[in-house]
Structure 1
Amino acid sequence: MTNSFHDKLGEGGFAIVYRGKLQNDGLVAVKILKEAKGKGEEFINEVASISTTSHVNIVTLLGFCFEGSKRALIYDFMQNGSLDKFISNNNSLPEDQLGSEKLLEIAVGIARGIEYLHQGCNTRILHFDIKPHNILLDKDFNPKISDFGLAKLSPNRSSTVSMLGVRGTIGYIAPELVYRTIGEVSYKSDVYSYGMMVLEMVGEMTNIDVNADQSSSIYFPDWIYNHLAQNATLDLNRIVNEDEHLVVRKMIIVGLWCIQTDPTMRPSMTRVLEMLEGNIESLQIPTKPHIASRHILAANPSTSELAR
């Protein structure tokens, strides 16, 4: 199927993905999990969660292999790869730059996918690793959420879940996953990760280096919040017309609501969709968040082991 693993599409901390072809010439992505630790929870999580889903914004699991220590997952092939390729600050190729309207469409599609995981499945699924690398784009740039290795199922559809340890990727981990006194771990943790990703997409549209402030005294959401509060028109790089200004402003406001420190202050994904698809005049700038994701690593260095 993969021509002896000839064409590698990418590699992460837990798996290598290869391009493959079925007998009917259909293209697939074959995800080979690296040697599993413990009882192979990542593989079990992925199969158990994604096999119960069916949504246009969720990747389709075509099959899997479980033979001895070998574990593989087979998905539809996504021609445009992952979203991080298109919002990387090293991105300088014109063909790898998406316009503001297309990025808004992608943000809406991702929100629909997360809403489905939270509300549309018989079993509520909390993803816990929403980030650009785990958003795949088909030939028409329709987004599909992938990588359910850290997902947690909530059979009774409870809003909160009990969890030992921290899971996720540095920069996208909700603060309550680290500081349990902030609030309970729930589907709102995915909302936080989504908000950070939306702000990263804004960084691409405005040509701002989202990660540049990791070593400085200014954290990107703080920077963007201050500029949003002070400048109604947001005089930012690359933005050339009023329509783009409105798209950027809308995505910023939604992103800032999603990364509120208090989980109860974050909107549900249903509300996020209403804000993204509604009139910008109805949106209010939220309270400035007080805890920054970059502080999580300083307070809990061990969480770096979870970076994916």
Structure 2
Amino acid sequence: MFLSLSLVAGRNNLKLILGTAALGIGILLILLFYIIRKLSLSESRVFWKNRSESYQNVENILKNYECFSPKRYTYSDIKKMTNSFRVKLGQGGFGCVFKGTLENGVLVAVKVLKGLKGSGEEFINEVVAISRTSHVNIVTLLGFCFEGRNRALIYEFMPNGSLERFIYDRNSTFRQLGRETLYQIAVGISRGLEYLHRGCNMRILHFDIKPHNVLLDEDFCPKISDFGLAKLCPQKESIISLLGTRGTAGYIAPEVFCRSFGGVSHKSDVYSYGMMILEMVGGRKNIDDGVDQTTELCFPHWIYKRLELDEELRLQGNVNEEANESARKMIIVGLWCIQTDPSHRPAMSKVVEMLEGSPESLQIPPKPFLSSPSRSPAESSTTHFITMCD
């Protein structure tokens, strides 16, 4: 009897202990949930506050530049002109580009941006920087949309798309462009860059010159586009301060990612231009993921070697003396533009002069010792930087 009572009392005590423990754990869980929720709400408020401030900052800047800015459209206008985004022209990290039509029947390209990054610098650059320009070799911004989370840029429509489609051997469309057409495109791009560097009241540094960002109209007249990474600076300033690296691997000047090579300036665009016209002549990318990594040649070294040996560069199109002369000029100018020391590169005004002048007056530059690197199979295609060439 006594043992039975003791067992009952023991079970009751165990139940009491377990109940108390369960109650304590429940209270702790409730407190933990409350703390997490409170922190989450606090972070959310900070996030939305920062986001709201970013939008307001962009709005304020747009108002300050209202006299320079093109027409502003609502998001419903954008949907209407693109027929609810029916025809997609292209896609990138920024978002998508759709074909559109204005009320007057003019065809346009509508660039719909994914989101407002950071302080909205890229969107502001596109609207403010390009709105200051007016040149036959600079794409025209016809309007923009900044409404809540929706942002879009309306450009003139370029029926032939980007230069990238026409300059690499693996693209069948390359056969449509002869050497002389490529040469005229190179000259047009150089004039557009010269205008950005010298023709505006504020010098505009593009920082992302590459074939993808050069658009071609129906007559293959080139127009520089995509000013998302651009930087405005006074004409008198030759060197600018730049936080971090900007641009696309393969076209980034050495000083942009390593200041020991020199100061960042308009000469950084010159480097990108030089690498691009060497690609146009060579018919291949300076960084090509499709090339066998064990036999990949240093691209400018490959170009320079053929210049020294006066070898054919395997370009498509009709071969004649005038076309060969144009190609040779592009090679020499391109090699001058990619000199490691920025002070050894010509200004874009000199580049135009060299391209339009006599080839006999051009001196062959020193052999380049910087270019795209050799890669090991384990390396990612996004980790290309500049290395020494033998």
What is the TM-score with the length of structure 1 in the denominator? Answer: 0.91
Asked if residue 193 in structure 1 is aligned to residue 272 in structure 2, the reply is: yes
Measured against aligned partners, the alpha-carbon deviations of 1:144-189 in whole angstroms (never above 9, x if no partner) come to 0000000000035411110010000011000111121010000000
Per-residue deviation, 1:245: 1.6
Moved over 6 A (4+): 300-303
Asked whether the equivalents of residues 21 and 28 of structure 1 are also in contact (C-alpha less than 8 Å), the reply is yes
Per-residue deviation, 1:92: 1.8
Partner of 1:286: 365
The structure whose residues are more often helix, as a share, is 2
* Mean Cα deviation higher: 215-224 or 281-290: 215-224
Asked whether the equivalents of residues 8 and 17 of structure 1 are also in contact (C-alpha less than 8 Å), the reply is yes
* Mean Cα deviation higher: 114-123 or 8-17: 8-17
Asked whether the equivalents of residues 81 and 137 of structure 1 are also in contact (C-alpha less than 8 Å), the reply is yes
1:263 counterpart (342, 354, 370) = 342
Partner of 2:14: none
Asked if residue 16 in structure 1 is aligned to residue 70 in structure 2, the reply is: no
Asked whether the equivalents of residues 163 and 214 of structure 2 are also in contact (C-alpha less than 8 Å), the reply is yes
Work out the number of aligned pairs and report it: 299
RCO comparison, higher one (Cα < 8 Å, 6+) = 1
Partner of 2:308: 229
Per-residue deviation, 1:93: 4.0
For the residue of structure 1 that corresponds to 2:229, the secondary structure is: coil
Amino acid at match of 1:34: K
Per-residue deviation, 1:302: 11
Asked if residue 32 in structure 1 is aligned to residue 112 in structure 2, the reply is: yes
Spell out the pairing of 1:238-277 with structure 2 (5 A cutoff). Answer: 238=316, 240-277=319-356
Partner of 1:127: 206
Asked whether the equivalents of residues 213 and 220 of structure 1 are also in contact (C-alpha less than 8 Å), the reply is no
Task: Assess, with a 3 A threshold, how the Cα gap between structure 1 residues 153 and 209 changes in structure 2: closer, same or farther.
Answer: closer
1:74 counterpart (136, 149, 154) = 154
Task: Assess, with a 3 A threshold, how the Cα gap between structure 1 residues 283 and 305 changes in structure 2: closer, same or farther.
Answer: closer
Asked if residue 55 in structure 1 is aligned to residue 142 in structure 2, the reply is: no
* Mean Cα deviation higher: 287-296 or 141-150: 287-296
What is the TM-score with the length of structure 2 in the denominator? Answer: 0.72
Measured against aligned partners, the alpha-carbon deviations of 1:183-209 in whole angstroms (never above 9, x if no partner) come to 0000000000000100010023xxx56
Question: Mind listing any 5+ residue stretches in structure 1 that lack a counterpart?
Answer: none
Task: Assess, with a 3 A threshold, how the Cα gap between structure 1 residues 209 and 305 changes in structure 2: closer, same or farther.
Answer: closer
For the residue of structure 2 that corresponds to 1:75, the secondary structure is: strand
Measure, in 1, the Cα distance between the counterparts of 2:236 and 2:152.
Answer: 29
Measure, in 2, the Cα distance between the counterparts of 1:17 and 1:6.
Answer: 11
Asked if residue 88 in structure 1 is aligned to residue 168 in structure 2, the reply is: yes
The percent of aligned pairs where both chains have the same amino acid is 63
Task: Assess, with a 3 A threshold, how the Cα gap between structure 1 residues 265 and 193 changes in structure 2: closer, same or farther.
Answer: same
Partner of 1:160: 239
Asked if residue 43 in structure 1 is aligned to residue 119 in structure 2, the reply is: no
Asked whether the equivalents of residues 167 and 173 of structure 1 are also in contact (C-alpha less than 8 Å), the reply is yes
Question: Mind listing any 5+ residue stretches in structure 2 that lack a counterpart?
Answer: 1-80, 386-390
Measured against aligned partners, the alpha-carbon deviations of 1:108-138 in whole angstroms (never above 9, x if no partner) come to 0000000000000000000000000000111
Asked whether the equivalents of residues 89 and 209 of structure 1 are also in contact (C-alpha less than 8 Å), the reply is no
Task: Assess, with a 3 A threshold, how the Cα gap between structure 1 residues 302 and 101 changes in structure 2: closer, same or farther.
Answer: closer
Asked whether the equivalents of residues 174 and 293 of structure 1 are also in contact (C-alpha less than 8 Å), the reply is no
Asked whether the equivalents of residues 175 and 293 of structure 1 are also in contact (C-alpha less than 8 Å), the reply is no
Partner of 1:175: 254
